[in-house]
Amino acid sequence: MAGRRNINKMMKQVQQMQQEMQRAQEELARETVTASAGGGAVKVTMTGGLELTSIEIDPGVLDPEDVEMLQDMVQAAVNEAINSAQELASRKLGGVTGGLGDLGLNLPGL
Q: How confident is the model at residue 16 (pLDDT cuts 50, 70, 90)?
A: confident
Phi, psi for residue 32 in degrees, rounded to 5: -130, 155
Please check the confidence at residue 109 and state whether its pLDDT lies above 70: no
Average confidence (pLDDT) over 19-37: 86
Q: What residue spans of the chain are helical by DSSP H? A: 2-30, 67-97, 100-103
Fold for the domain defined by 2-100: Ybab; Chain: A; (3.30.1310)
What is the average pLDDT across 42-50? 86
Q: On the CB side of 56, how many CA atoms lie within 13 Å of its CA?
A: 11
What does the alpha-carbon distance between residue 61 and residue 77 come to, in Å, rounded to a whole number? Answer: 15
- 51-92 pLDDT, tens per residue? 888 888 888 877 777 778 888 888 888 898 888 888 888 887
pLDDT of residue 105: 47
pTM higher than 0.75? no
Q: Which of 20-34, 63-77, 95-109 has the lowest mean pLDDT?
A: 95-109
